[in-house]
Each structure stands twice: as C-alpha cells, then as structure tokens.
Amino acid sequence: MRYYLAFFPVLALAACGAPENPPADPPPSSPQSGMAAMENTVSVAGQQTAIDVRAAWMRPHPAGRDVTAAYIVVALTEGAEDLLQAVQIEGADRVELHGHFMTEDGVMQMREIGPQRVGDDGPLVFTPGGRHLMVFGLPAVTEGATVSGTLIFQNAGVVPVSFDVRSMPPGLPADY
C-alpha cells in the first residue's frame, strides 16, 4: 500500500501527460494486428446479463488540452460475466480504455488495454491511478456539467451512461 500511495501523484500526472508524451515503446508498424494480438485474449461466454453503472465521472479538461480522463464503476446484476468492449462519449472523437504500467526504470506509463471483463465476483473499476477512459477530442467540459455516453458490452449491448464532470472523485460505492 505504501508503494501505491508513493506513486499516486505520478499516476495523476501520467494520466494527463501521456498524450503529449507517448510511451517509449514505438507503436507497432501495424497497429491493428499488434492490438489484436494483445487484446483479443479476453473472451467471455455469451449469456444474458444486466449492467449497473455505479459511478461515472470525468475530469474537466486540463488547460489547453483536448484530452481528459473519465472513470466508471460497473457491476453485473444479472449473469456471470460480460465484456466491456468500447466506450463512446457524445462529442468526443474517440475513447480508449487505458491502464498504467511500470517500466523497468520505475516510470509509470499508460497504454490502451482493450476490452475488460466484468464478472459476478465484483465490480469493474476505472479509477484514478488505475484503469481509466482516455477521452480524445471532446470540447472542453466544465465542473458541474454532465456528459452522455454509452458503454458497449458483448452481452448486455449498449448501456447508457452519464458522466458528472468534477475535479475530485465522487464518494465511493459501498462495494467499490
């Protein structure tokens, strides 16, 4: 835990800084095939599911940027597993699912992580310092606004979501 806390400020910076400071690893020359190899390892059984969105919020844009981070907590209320395949946000060019990783020299970086599984063993959490949604090309949003979007699940299909724009995380759900 001490480890986690020590790196928290770095994570916060990394979340905002990375679009202008891409990871040291160059993108694969063929992004499609490279991504496919990394991401298509997650598969979940087809079944009926229902999704509960327990928290959804987005940071105001840092000054002069058109990139910001958004966070969600989703849980299954029906079914055993599902896969969050993509996120769309109204007005944004695109949204990527990102995670943080430690490089060999101890620097936190982030990169796209692809579809994420949610099971009946606990919520799928996107939170500062961990998984996050990277929102590109959205016109600047201000504190107190709400932004609509959709979460796209393999089994549950399209789930509407409303992000509260706020600088600080909301209170955490009881079963976070």
Using DSSP bridges, classify how beta strands 157-165 and 50-58 pair: parallel, antiparallel or unpaired.
Answer: parallel
Q: Report the candidate in 73, 72, 55, 83 with the shortest Cα–Cα distance to residue 134.
A: 72
Q: Which is nearer to Cu ion, 78 or 136 (CB)?
A: 136
Say how many C-beta atoms besides its own lie within 10 A of residue 90's C-beta: 10
What minimum distance in Å lies between the beta carbon of 18 and Cu ion?
Answer: 5
Give the residue closest to Cu ion by C-beta: 98
Q: How many residues of this chain bind Cu ion (CB under 5 A)? A: 3
Structure tokens given for 157: 């299909």
CA distance 8 to 3: 9
What minimum distance in Å lies between the beta carbon of 50 and Cu ion?
Answer: 28
User: Does residue 98 belong to the site contacting Cu ion (CB under 5 A)?
Assistant: yes
What minimum distance in Å lies between the beta carbon of 114 and Cu ion?
Answer: 13
149 CB-near residues (< 8 Å, 6+ apart) = 56, 70, 87, 88, 89, 90, 92, 95, 160, 161, 162, 163
Site string for Cu ion, 47-76 (x = CB under 5 A): ------------------------------
33 CB-near residues (< 8 Å, 6+ apart) = none
What minimum distance in Å lies between the beta carbon of 133 and Cu ion?
Answer: 8
Q: Which is nearer to Cu ion, 135 or 156 (CB)?
A: 135
Site string for Cu ion, 107-136 (x = CB under 5 A): ---x-----------------------x--
Structure tokens given for 127: 């939170």
CA distance 18 to 154: 29
What minimum distance in Å lies between the beta carbon of 10 and Cu ion?
Answer: 13
Greatest Cα pair distance, the chain, in angstroms, is 44
- Which part of the chain contacts Cu ion (CB under 5 A), choosing from 55-63, 98-106, 118-126, 164-172? 98-106
What minimum distance in Å lies between the beta carbon of 49 and Cu ion?
Answer: 27
The residues of the shown chain that bind Cu ion, judged by CB under 5 A, are 98, 110, 134
